[in-house]
Each structure stands twice: as structure tokens, then as C-alpha cells.
Amino acid sequence: MSNEYHFDTQQIHAGAVPDPTTGARQVPIYQTTAYVFRDADHAARLFALKELGYIYSRLNNPTITALQDRITALEGGAGTVCCASGHGAQFMAMFPLMSPGKNIVASTRIYGGSMQQFTNSFRKFGWGAKAVDFTNLDAIKAAIDENTRALFCETLANPAGDILELPEIAKIADAAGIPLVVDNTSATPWLCRPIEYGATLVVHSMTKYLTGNGTVMGGSITDSGKFNWSASDKFPSLSEPEPAYHGLKFYEAFGPLAYTFYGIAVGLRDLGIPLNPQAAHYTLMGIETLSLRMAKHVENATKVATWLEKNPHISKVNYAGLPSSPFYERIQRLTPRGAGALFTFHVKGGYDACVKLVDNVKLFSHVANLGDTRSLIIHPASTTHSQLSPEQLVAAGAGPDVVRVSIGIEDPADIIADLDQALTAASA
Ligand SMILES: *Cc1c(COP(=O)(O)O)cnc(C)c1O
């Protein structure tokens, strides 16, 4: 598919051609585990990566390949690997880079589940994680040591939708000879393409805006193809003969696709967390309307945040799309189409009023999700972020008086009316 096409065209066409056998126009769900080899030589060539093709759906599947190619086009990368969930994608993203004793430096402002995964579960593999305030560039530099193998942050950071100075953070990663991994879940490539700001790897929870309607789980990792994995001895899985793949030197053999091929041939093969073809199909269909949905999400979120800022029950609204936000200038520069639709606000009544608020909404759904067509609400301190310490809660922008909303694409008047009645009830 031509890279000349614009975003709105690529979100529908990239990665998809009419099915060569049937002419099916929509990408079929290839519901199969295995693929018949033409002959023994063909099978041997596929296993040796001398020829590309389908072997077994733990590694690849045509429906998933179409999705991978579409995300690659939208993010402006070299290759993409999809897997079972966003958390799976984060694990897959680090897998080629890490070994026991190595660490990552991660922003404190990330999805609570990601912090949990990094600080506790990664440790079981001997992978360390240092949490740093990424708005402080000197703190990032100070945290990097000779065992650091990646920086990790979010574009529009969870839960308050702040935006970081990505180009400066990419320069720090560059100077240290390590990749910057950006979770682009809440921005989506329509609002921000982190590779253009110097990111090496972009991960998504496709569960959210890419699929867009709360139907299936999925994750993706897109590689820019620009990182030189042989520039140092830091990334032996990619630069040295890989024992997990009969001594293949991935970077020498595949250049800009080395990381992607490693992710499929070793990562998916051994971690065993593939996406399923039906989920890939839902996500492909979701992506077809990504730009339309994101524009409406942003428009609605701006209206709701503006209304909330004037509401007497609210002490503060953290939405980078509001002129009162310290991130407003950065948004105009880095994501000029808007600040997304995920933000937080502080309720004057504190913890108790927040709990009452989520109990009194009618149109909003009280769920642990974001990026749905529906408006969603949650109180992070009692749910998604409840495993964090009080200090971590505040550092993550999820103190006891904070409510997070993911604004949907309903009529904004109905969204505002629902918050109005629930806030009145919560403050009574
Ligand atoms: C939801 C989410 C994840 C985890 O993704 P799952 O698909 O739920 O595994 C990671 N990062 C961000 C920003 C998310 O919103």
C-alpha cells in the first residue's frame, strides 16, 4: 500500500488487499491454527526465515498480519508485532532488550497496571524498574546507569492526560544509546506519532481507542526501524548470534526489521501470547473510523472539561486541552489535534464524594477501561491504582479526591447533564 496516502485513507486500506482466493473485500478472519506447506523444502525455508510465510498462528496469521501492517503505516514505523493485550505488548517490547540485572527507567505518570507490572512482576525475571518524574529531564538522566536498557513513558500520560516533552526525552535516550519506548494508547497515532519525535518503539493497548468500542483485548509494538542495535554490546539478542534461534544474528540478517522479526520468531514463539484472529478483525474494523472517533472524543472532552472547571463542586480539572493547564502550550506544539479524551478532576468532597459520584452516574459506566465510544468513569484510588502506596498515588496523579473520566462520543449535552446530576447527588 502506498505510503503516499493520507491518514484517513490508510486507516481503512493499509495492510488490506482483497482476499486473493475469494476476492473478499473485508479482511477475512483466518480462523486456523496451521498452514499447509507446499513441500518439505518450503517448510524448511519458512522455519529458517529464508522465506516469509505462515507456519502456525502462535507466530503469525493473515488477519493479524493485516492489522500489523495497518498499525505500522499509521505510526510511521518499519514493522509491528501484535499480541494478546497491552500488558503483553509491554512485556514483548522489553523482552528482546532485557536480561537479568538490567533495568528500565519509567515515568511515574503511567497506567497503574503498568507500574505494577514493572515494579513487581518484571522483578521476577531480574528486570529492574526505576520510576522517575519524566517532567524533570535531569532526573531521567540521573536515573540511567550502565544497566539501563530502555526509557518508558506515555504520550498522553495516564490518568490525567499530561503530555511530556517527547523530543527532549528521545535525545536523552539517544545520548545513552538506549531506545525510548512510548505507550501511545491514549493519544493514538491520529493525535501523536511518537516516532516523529524520536521514539524507537511505540506500544499500544489496542483494547482502548484502536478497537474503540470495548470489545476485545489486544496489544501492539511498532518499531521505528531506526535504532542501531549493534552500536554497543547492550542488545546481544539482536546484535549477537541468538542461541534461541540457531545462532541467527537478527540485526545483521534483517536490519530495520530485526526487532520485529525477533518479536515474532522468538518473542511470540516462546512467550506464547499471540493475538487471536477474531480480535484482530474487530480491531481492524475499529481502526477504520479512528480519526472520526478521535476528533469527536477530543471535541466532547474539551466541552466537558470546560464545563467541569466552572462547577462549584470541583476544585481542579487536569485536562491538557484547557488553557489553564501547564501542559496547554506543549499540546499545541506536540499534539495540535488535541489532548485526547482521558482526564481527571478533583472533587471538593474528597474520597467519599468521589465514591458517591461513581455510584450516582447513569449514562457514564463505572468500569476499569478507557477509550470506549461510551463515557466511562472510575475512582483510581479505590480501583486501578489501589495497589500503589499513598506517595505513589499522589506521584501518579491519582490521590483520594481524584476521579478519572474517559469521555465518549455521545451527545456532549447528555454527558454534561449526567455529571451535573451525579455531582449534585454526591455533594448533598
Ligand atoms: C489499558 C492500558 C494498558 C494495558 O493494556 P491491556 O490491553 O489492558 O493489557 C497499558 N497502557 C495503557 C496506557 C492503558 O490504558
Locate the ligand 1 atom nearest the alpha carbon of residue 158 and give its number: 13
Q: What is the pLDDT confidence band of residue 427, given thresholds at 50, 70 and 90?
A: confident
Angle CA 67–368–283, to nearest 5:
10
Q: Is the pLDDT of residue 387 over 80?
A: no
Q: How far is CA 244 from the centre of its chain?
A: 28
DSSP string, 360-393: H-SSSEE-S--S-SS-EEE-GGGTTTTTS-HHHH
Locate the ligand 1 atom nearest the alpha carbon of residue 206 and give its number: 7
Task: List the residue whose alpha carbon is closest to atom 5 of ligand 1.
Answer: 86
Contacts of 356 (CB under 8 A, 6+ apart): 349, 425, 426
Ligand 1 centroid – CA 190 distance (Å): 18
Count of residues for the chain? 428
pLDDT of residue 384: 80
Ligand 1 centroid – CA 134 distance (Å): 19
Ligand 1 centroid – CA 102 distance (Å): 23
The SS3 call for residue 11 is helix
Q: Which residue out of 115, 121, 208 has the highest number of ligand 1 atoms within 8 Å of its CB and is therefore the one to mutate?
A: 208
Ligand 1 centroid – CA 109 distance (Å): 13
pLDDT of residue 3: 62
Contacts of 318 (CB under 8 A, 6+ apart): 160, 161, 162, 325, 343, 344, 345, 346, 397
Q: Which residue out of 153, 184, 185 has the highest number of ligand 1 atoms within 8 Å of its CB and is therefore the one to mutate?
A: 185
Locate the ligand 1 atom nearest the alpha carbon of residue 370 and give its number: 15
Task: List the residue whose alpha carbon is closest to atom 12 of ligand 1.
Answer: 111
The mean pLDDT of 180-191, rounded to a whole number, is 98
Q: Which residue out of 82, 85, 87 has the highest number of ligand 1 atoms within 8 Å of its CB and is therefore the one to mutate?
A: 87
Q: 332, 220, 238: which is closest to 287 by C-alpha?
A: 220
Q: Is the pLDDT of residue 1 over 70?
A: no
pLDDT of residue 2: 53
Do 108 and 395 form a contact (C-beta atoms < 8 A)? Answer: yes
Grid cell listed for 376? 466511562
Task: List the residue whose alpha carbon is closest to atom 1 of ligand 1.
Answer: 205
pLDDT of residue 160: 76
- CA atoms of 68 and 141, how far apart (whole Å): 33
Q: How far is CA 39 from CA 35, 45, 94, 275, in A?
A: 12, 10, 36, 28
Amino acid identity, position 80: T
Ligand 1 centroid – CA 354 distance (Å): 23
Residues of the chain with CATH 3.90.1150.10: 290-426
Task: List the residue whose alpha carbon is closest to atom 2 of ligand 1.
Answer: 205
- CA atoms of 187 and 413, how far apart (whole Å): 24
Instruction: Give the pLDDT confidence of 199-228 residue by residue, as tens digits.
Output: 999 999 999 999 999 999 999 999 999 999
Quick count: other Cβ atoms within 10 Å of Cβ 282? 19
The mean pLDDT of 399-416, rounded to a whole number, is 96
pLDDT of residue 275: 98
The SS3 call for residue 104 is strand
DSSP state of 116: H
Instruction: Give the pLDDT confidence of 123-164 residue by residue, as tens digits.
Output: 999 999 999 999 999 999 999 999 999 999 999 988 777 899
For the whole model, what pTM was predicted?
A: 0.96
Q: How far is CA 418 from CA 346, 364, 371, in A?
A: 17, 7, 19
Ligand 1 centroid – CA 5 distance (Å): 29
The mean pLDDT of 67-75, rounded to a whole number, is 98
- CA atoms of 181 and 183, how far apart (whole Å): 7
Specify the CATH class of 290-426 in words.
Answer: alpha beta
Instruction: Give the pLDDT confidence of 12-37 residue by residue, as tens digits.
Output: 999 999 999 999 999 999 999 999 99
The SS3 call for residue 273 is coil
Angle between helix 350-360 and 412-426 (nearest 10): 130
- CA atoms of 131 and 426, how far apart (whole Å): 35
Ligand 1 centroid – CA 335 distance (Å): 20
Task: List the residue whose alpha carbon is closest to atom 8 of ligand 1.
Answer: 86
Pocket, ligand 1, Cβ cutoff 6 A: 85-87, 111, 113-114, 154, 158, 183, 185-186, 205, 207-208, 217, 219, 370
**CATH no. of 7-286:** 3.40.640.10
- CA atoms of 325 and 322, how far apart (whole Å): 5
- CA atoms of 71 and 120, how far apart (whole Å): 30
Residues of the chain with CATH 3.40.640.10: 7-286
